[in-house]
Chains A and B, each alone.
Chain A
Amino acid sequence: MSTPLAILGIFGDAIDFIFNAREARTGGAEVGGLGEFASLTGKHLLVTVAAVGLASLVALPLGLYLGHKRRGGFLAVSVSNVGRAVPSLVLIALFIAFLGVGFANVALALALLAIPPILTNAYVGVTQVDRDVIDAAVGQGLTDGQVMRQIELPLALPLIFGGLRTSVVNVIATATIAPIAGVVTLGDPIISQSVYGDAGKLAAAIVVALLAVVAEVGLGAAQRAVTPAPLRGTPGATRRGRFFVKTAGKGLSTS
């Protein structure tokens, strides 16, 4: 009986911690409250955006190009596998040891973590484009660049976004270890538990989890918005047959 109640109690306390500042467990300072969480969240998002931005700059062109040439599949896949096998904590530790600490280094370390899903998904997305479609495009006189930009890129977008979503969620979760390398993110209350207490630790964990969910949902919406209309059909809609009803309706009205 008491255990579930106690768990609820801690959750309640944690949520209170997000909204109302209180004295630190070690005394002498105010911690928690919306002000502090806003600034921690800001730094967290900033380092996430920097890391994923940097990763996209490298991985997207490379993935698209390799996919277009249908070469280097081995590279794309092994980079992905190796990348996922390296624990991010180790990555950060290596960076501290060799590059020092600070925003740029943390962003770089997190970018390395973000590259594999983006690279693999971009590569796979492009290679999956129907060969006939590309042949038809080439037959109509489209240049290499045009094929990449106008055919392959739009058709690969759903998978590319899938990669981005994975990366963003990974990075949001991993950015919690940034405080050990000089960047004060939402990981601070989790790491400095002696100051923030259990409520602070859990509160930060809740905010991080929410960020990850919001990022996932938001990017999902963005993905749908940029996907060419005929490819869009949400899985839910197709399952319910709405997609077909709609096209059928269209067919009727034009005829």
Chain B
Amino acid sequence: MKQRHLRLLLVLALVALAAVGLTACGSDDSKSDSTSTADGASTETTTTASDAGGAIVSNAANGKVTLTIGSKNFTEQKVLGEIYAQALQAAGYTVKKQLNLGDEQTALKTLKQGDIDAYPEYTGTALLSFFGVKTDALPHDPAAAYDEVKADFAKQDLVALPPTPFTSSNEVAVTQATAAKYGLKNISDLAKVADQLTLYGSPECRQRLDCLLGLQKTYGLKFKKFVPVDLSQRSKVLSGGQADVSIVFTTDPQNKRDKFVLLKDDKGMFPPYNSTLVVRKASFDKAGPDLATTIEAVNAKLDAAVVQELNARIDLDKETPEQAAGEYLKQFGFVK
């Protein structure tokens, strides 16, 4: 009897262990997922923001303020972190960097603990992951999304600086040949031909409103087939010809190099994912007005094309984020 009990216990323990083990494996995946959400979803709002008056002026008084800039662990974030770090350095601050903080939960935790003073976050991601907003309740206007994020962050003693012009969101991409063959410009143009086309997307795409589910509900599209693949395959399946339509990100460098056609979201389905630098209230007050001015100035030129080029230089041309950020600041005359 005793032995049987022991065996039952052992089996239960094994089930629990295996479950926990699998969950742990899962969290690795979810890390890349959250990355995707960060990159994922929406409209192109390329604004020509005000030129904030040329080169950044160094203020000697800022030297005693040390700012640690963080970022999450993927290319676009790292280059944003570098741009902010180098710009703030140019403004006279003493700057440290922590540009590999994992997913947004890790980054936020690090920020709240005070190990970093600021990191860039996407408005859509903040609303979804931090503030419990459901995808179908996300504002579709970038300004409204930023206002909501700013108010929510303020409750946690965090300051969200004005966002970038670029939004890093999901895009419905086809090859030039497919676009020409079916005459595709807007997502709604897919309606007549979707039943002949195979759509590829990440596994979670199937049930997301900013992905397949939204395409079905908002646009009424019924694709011939949906094939889930790993996120890293999003461009390859399209250029390789397996996919007729693939879900990519706005700032993917491959979009330009492979000449993908990004269909216009004519029904406004994708929520905004502009990037805002989130700063601790204490650090913000300590740093003085130059912080916000500097960030706003360098943000102004960060439109989708520029960020795509920055990503391309790092992912495809193998530059470091540091080099790419430096070139950006020089190119637009922020530093000499």
Tell me if chain B binds chain A. yes
| A interface footprint on B73-104 (CB within 8 Å = 1, 0 otherwise) | 00000000000000000000000000000000
CB pair A180 B203 closer than 8 Å: yes
- Chain B contacts for A182, CB-based, 8 A: 227-229
Q: What is the bound-complex CA distance between A29 and B134, given in angstroms?
A: 11
With A28-B136, A191-B29, A206-B15 already in contact, the answer to whether A201 and B230 are too (CB < 8 A) is no
- Chain A contacts for B136, CB-based, 8 A: 27-28
With A184-B203, A191-B33, A193-B26 already in contact, the answer to whether A27 and B137 are too (CB < 8 A) is yes
Q: What is the bound-complex CA distance between A209 and B17, given in angstroms?
A: 9
CB pair B14 A209 closer than 8 Å: yes
B214 within 8 A of A: yes
A181 within 8 A of B: yes
Greatest chain A CB density within 10 A among B37, B136, B213, B228 is at B228
A148 → B minimal CB distance (Å): 36
Interface size class of A (residues with CB under 8 A): 35 or more
Q: Which residue of A lies closest to B12 (CB)?
A: A213
CB pair A206 B229 closer than 8 Å: no
B33 → A minimal CB distance (Å): 5
Majority DSSP secondary structure for residues of A touching B: helix
CB pair A194 B34 closer than 8 Å: yes
CB pair B203 A188 closer than 8 Å: yes
- Chain B contacts for A26, CB-based, 8 A: 128, 134-135, 207-210
CB pair B209 A28 closer than 8 Å: yes
> Which of A75-83, A95-103, A116-124 lies at the interface?
A95-103
B106 within 8 A of A: no
Q: What is the bound-complex CA distance between A213 and B8, given in angstroms?
A: 12
CB pair A192 B242 closer than 8 Å: no
B105 → A minimal CB distance (Å): 12
- Chain A contacts for B22, CB-based, 8 A: 173, 176, 190, 204-205, 208-209
A49 within 8 A of B: no
Q: What is the bound-complex CA distance between A67 and B63, given in angstroms?
A: 77
Within 8 A of B (CB), among A21-45: 23-29, 31
B168 → A minimal CB distance (Å): 16
CB pair B242 A195 closer than 8 Å: no
Which of B3, B15, B25 is close to A210, meaning CB atoms less than 8 Å apart?
A: B15
A212 within 8 A of B: yes
| Count of chain B residues near A, Cβ 8 A | 41
B330 → A minimal CB distance (Å): 38
CB pair A29 B15 closer than 8 Å: no
CB pair A209 B15 closer than 8 Å: yes
A59 within 8 A of B: no
B29 → A minimal CB distance (Å): 5
CB pair B26 A194 closer than 8 Å: no
- Chain A contacts for B30, CB-based, 8 A: 191, 193-194, 201
B23 within 8 A of A: yes
CB pair B19 A206 closer than 8 Å: yes
CB pair A213 B11 closer than 8 Å: yes
Q: Which residue of B lies closest to A29 (CB)?
A: B207
CB pair B207 A191 closer than 8 Å: no
- Chain A contacts for B242, CB-based, 8 A: 100-101
B73 → A minimal CB distance (Å): 17
CB pair B26 A190 closer than 8 Å: yes
CB pair A101 B207 closer than 8 Å: no
Q: Which residue of B lies closest to A212 (CB)?
A: B18
Q: What is the bound-complex CA distance between A93 and B14, given in angstroms?
A: 29
With A27-B134, A27-B136, A191-B26 already in contact, the answer to whether A181 and B207 are too (CB < 8 A) is no
B267 within 8 A of A: no
B217 within 8 A of A: yes
Q: What is the bound-complex CA distance between A213 and B14, given in angstroms?
A: 8
B233 within 8 A of A: yes
Q: Which residue of B lies closest to A182 (CB)?
A: B227
- Chain A contacts for B19, CB-based, 8 A: 202, 205-206, 208-209
With A27-B137, A29-B207, A212-B18 already in contact, the answer to whether A190 and B230 are too (CB < 8 A) is no
| A interface footprint on B126-163 (CB within 8 Å = 1, 0 otherwise) | 00100000111100000000000000000000000000
| A interface footprint on B182-203 (CB within 8 Å = 1, 0 otherwise) | 0000000000000000000011
- Chain A contacts for B207, CB-based, 8 A: 24, 26, 28-29, 31, 192, 195
Q: What is the bound-complex CA distance between A191 and B229, given in angstroms?
A: 11
CB pair A29 B213 closer than 8 Å: yes
B134 → A minimal CB distance (Å): 3
A228 → B minimal CB distance (Å): 26
Using CB atoms and an 8 Å cutoff, list the residues of chain A in contact with chain B.
23-29, 31, 93, 96, 100-102, 173, 176, 179-182, 184, 188, 190-195, 201-202, 204-206, 208-210, 212-213, 236
Using CB atoms and an 8 Å cutoff, list the residues of chain B in contact with chain A.
3, 11, 14-16, 18-23, 25-27, 29-30, 33-34, 37, 128, 134-137, 202-204, 206-210, 213-214, 217, 227-230, 233, 242
8 contacts between A and B (CB under 8 A): A27-B135, A96-B230, A173-B22, A191-B30, A193-B29, A194-B128, A213-B11, A213-B14
Given pairs A210-B15, A213-B14, 6 additional interface contacts (CB within 8 A): A29-B213, A101-B242, A173-B22, A184-B206, A190-B29, A194-B204
3 closest A-B pairs by beta carbon, nearest first, are: A27-B134, A192-B204, A209-B18
